[in-house]
Amino acid sequence: MTQPTESADAGPSPTGFLAEFKDAVTTRAALLVLGVLALQLAFITSYIGAFHHPKPSEIPIAVAAPLTPVAQQTAKQLGALPGQPLDPSVVEDEAAALDQVRHRDVDAALIVDPAGKTDRLLVASGAGASLSQAVEEIVGFVEKTQGRTLRVTDVAPAGKGDSRGLSSFYLVIGWCVGGYLCAAILAISAGARPANGHRAVIRLGALLVYAIAAGLLGTVIAGPILGALPGSIWGLWGLGTLVVFAVGAITLAFQGVAGVIGIGLAILLVVVLGNPSAGGAYPYPLLPPFWRTIGPALPPGAGTYAARSITYFRGNGAGGPLLVLAAWAVVGSAVTLACAVSRKDRPEPA
């Protein structure tokens, strides 16, 4: 009986560590790891770049005085400070100044008393304690150099369970995390790209149900259970639903365009760029120009601003951020559906 012989054309099987390494780490895996490294470095750069040196820049502040020339002169002095930390504007009287603060048109208001030596500063720590403190320090320094006294009144104070005004920020960040994780799980369970339009609709529907539940539960935890946010439960619930759905829809859209890499793109947009520019620890006027510019246009920033408006300003100023979130939700849904329809009924790639 003849023994089988090895083909002369077949070389010996590769052995050794290098062969094992090539078998264990594919080219695709290596590229994905490099992508993760790039994402990690971007995370470090974005967070440290945004937070390492907060500097006040053009903080909107109203100036009022019984005598208009006094108000104009004071506003001119504040606007001429080195580095332009304040952006003063003259208003008619104290009532108008208070109205602008409560409607989030300005972040503070200085009420000048030309007949005395004590002026009043109206701040709103509900918009961020670091911001109100920065205004107080700047205006207080100017008043001191002029031999005047400053009395500070917080007209929209943060709640007792929200002393630094950060609870709304962390609530929104939690909603954002839930949004992209839910979308990622929907993709992982049945392919990153939906096979057809019907499946895309089902995924969006499942995301909406999740968003409604997550919005309600997050609101209940932050409000009635922990007592951190005293705002409208209905308002925060609606906001939470919109935040979760918008972020989830963006993630589904990225996955529809780029497959599993879309999850990384969503993290880049929401976490790497969105979180440090959201105005949480440092509101927009304290952030560097790049982060201050992109923050209002991204879901974490729009959500944080709207949450503070609902909680401490009776919803004033929330309209613009809500439109931003709605736009992300609509665009994300449209791209998800368009990608699914363009695939027709092609099977998922292995």
Least confident of 20-24, 97-101, 124-128: 20-24
- DSSP secondary structure code for residue 117 in this structure: S
Higher pLDDT, 175 or 115: 175
Higher pLDDT, 4 or 326: 326
Nearest-angstrom CA–CA distance, 303 and 134: 23
Please state, for a pLDDT cut of 90, what percent of the chain lies above it. Answer: 71
Residues near 190 by beta carbon (within 8 Å), at least 6 away in sequence: 199, 348
Average pLDDT over residues 102-117: 95
Least confident of 40-44, 188-192, 302-306: 188-192
Residues near 275 by beta carbon (within 8 Å), at least 6 away in sequence: 47, 173, 176, 300
Least confident of 3-7, 67-71, 146-150, 326-330: 3-7
pLDDT reported for residue 340:
86
pLDDT reported for residue 186:
87
- pLDDT at position 332 over 90: yes
- pLDDT at position 4 over 80: no
Task: State the pLDDT confidence band at 193, using cuts at 50, 70 and 90.
Answer: low
pLDDT in tens, 261-287: 898 999 999 999 999 999 999 999 999
Task: State the pLDDT confidence band at 349, using cuts at 50, 70 and 90.
Answer: very low
Encoded amino acid at 22, one letter: K
Average pLDDT over residues 218-231: 94
- pLDDT at position 225 over 80: yes
pLDDT reported for residue 350:
37
**What DSSP element (H or E) covers 39?**
helix 27-51
Cα dist. 224→38, 94, 161, 171 in Å? 41, 35, 11, 14
- Highest averaged pLDDT of the listed ranges 44-53, 187-196, 233-242, 262-271: 233-242
Least confident of 29-33, 73-77, 346-350: 346-350
Average pLDDT over the chain reads 89
Going from the N-terminus, what domains does the chain have, and what CATH number goes with each? Answer: 59-154 (3.40.50), 167-343 (no CATH)
pLDDT in tens, 59-72: 999 999 988 899 99
Least confident of 67-71, 335-339, 340-344: 340-344
pLDDT reported for residue 163:
74
Angle between the N-to-C axes of helices 167-190 and 299-312, in degrees from 0 to 180, rounded to the nearest 10: 140
Nearest-angstrom CA–CA distance, 87 and 79: 6
> pTM of the full predicted structure?
0.88
